């Protein structure tokens, strides 16, 4: 029997994992669930019986290595340390189509740079969103999509892969492929640079619309500008397809 730890800060994915995990016989795998210590609103995860883990704690890492055969990161907010990924098999469910736009908020950057978007399940190594690819699924971006629209489509694709392949991930019944190119990486600084709108920036109307829809993610206050009186004004874009 494999002991599997799911590390996630995403309520929707944890709920789905628990549903699919019930279909795997107990003699094959036993699943435990935890969330990261930097999660600022873990109440729903706590109510699901999850415990907290700190990926910067040597004690926590030692405990994981000692007690589990596999760790699956499903939108964990903390980066897994080198000591963990080199000591135990770790798999990441990443909301981006590696190697394109690795790192933070892949859907935001795919709207802007037109690189492919989707989800990737890959082995973890010491680099971020790097390592051999196990499964992938690409999704589309429509002209009326905001960041949230694309992100939800990616999560739906992740659920499909989880349903189809969770058993194979546990038993290592899969074939990996190395990324053919390194692709590109976007950090949190790259994202924050986008959010500060330059009112004097010159670009096509299409580029301005892309920027605003890429930064529109439900009720999140992402894009903003500073007006002539020093007020910080947040901006969101509403797009609606006529169909």
Q: Are 55 and 78 in contact (CB under 8 A)?
A: yes
Question: Residue 190's Cα: distance from chain center in Å?
Answer: 16
| DSSP-derived pairing of the beta strands 89-94 and 117-123 | antiparallel
At a CB cut-off of 8 Å and minimum separation 6, what does 60 contact?
A: 53, 54
CA angle 25, 33, 126 (to 5 degrees): 105
Assigned token pair, 143: 């002209």
Q: How far apart are CA 171 and CA 1, in angstroms?
A: 9
At a CB cut-off of 8 Å and minimum separation 6, what does 27 contact?
A: 1
User: Which residues form the catalytic set?
Assistant: 94
Strand pairing partners for 23? none
């Amino acid at each position: 029997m494999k002991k599997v730890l799911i590390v996630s800060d995403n309520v929707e994915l944890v709920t789905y994992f628990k549903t699919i995990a019930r279909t795997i016989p107990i003699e094959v795998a036993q699943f435990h669930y935890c969330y990261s210590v930097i999660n600022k609103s873990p109440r729903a995860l706590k109510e699901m019986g999850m415990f907290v883990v700190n990926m910067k704690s040597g004690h926590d890492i030692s405990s994981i290595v000692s007690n589990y055969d596999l760790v699956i990161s499903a939108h964990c907010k903390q980066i897994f340390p080198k000591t963990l990924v080199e000591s135990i098999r770790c798999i990441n469910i990443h909301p981006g189509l590696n190697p394109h736009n690795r790192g933070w908020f892949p859907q935001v950057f795919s709207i802007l740079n037109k690189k492919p978007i989707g989800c990737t399940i890959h082995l973890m190594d010491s680099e971020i969103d790097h390592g051999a690819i196990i499964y992938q699924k690409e999704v589309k971006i429509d002209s009326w999509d905001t960041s949230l629209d694309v992100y939800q489509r990616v999560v739906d694709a992740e659920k499909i892969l989880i349903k189809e392949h969770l058993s194979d991930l546990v038993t290592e019944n899969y074939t990996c492929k190395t990324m053919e190119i390194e692709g590109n990486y976007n950090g949190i600084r790259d994202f924050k640079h986008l959010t500060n709108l330059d009112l004097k920036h010159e670009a096509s109307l299409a580029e301005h619309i892309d920027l605003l829809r890429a930064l529109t993610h439900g009720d999140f206050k992402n894009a903003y500008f500073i007006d002539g009186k020093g007020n910080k004004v947040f901006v969101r874009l509403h797009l609606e397809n006529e169909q």
